[in-house]
Structure 1
Amino acid sequence: MHKRQHSPEFKLEVVRQVASGEKRPAQVCREHGLAESVLSRWRKGYQERGEAAFRSQTPATSEAARIAELEQFCGQLALENAVLKKTLQALRSRSDMR
Structure 2
Amino acid sequence: MTQKKQYSAEFKFKVVLESYQRDTTIEEVCRRFGLASSVIHRWRKEFQEHGPAVFADKRDQEARRKTQGFAPGESPDELKHLIGELTVQNEILKKSRGLLDH
TM-score, normalised to structure 2, is 0.45
Higher relative contact order structure (alpha carbons within 8 Å, sequence separation ≥ 6): 1
Q: Which has the higher helix share?
A: 1
Which of these two proteins has the greater Rg computed from alpha carbons? 2
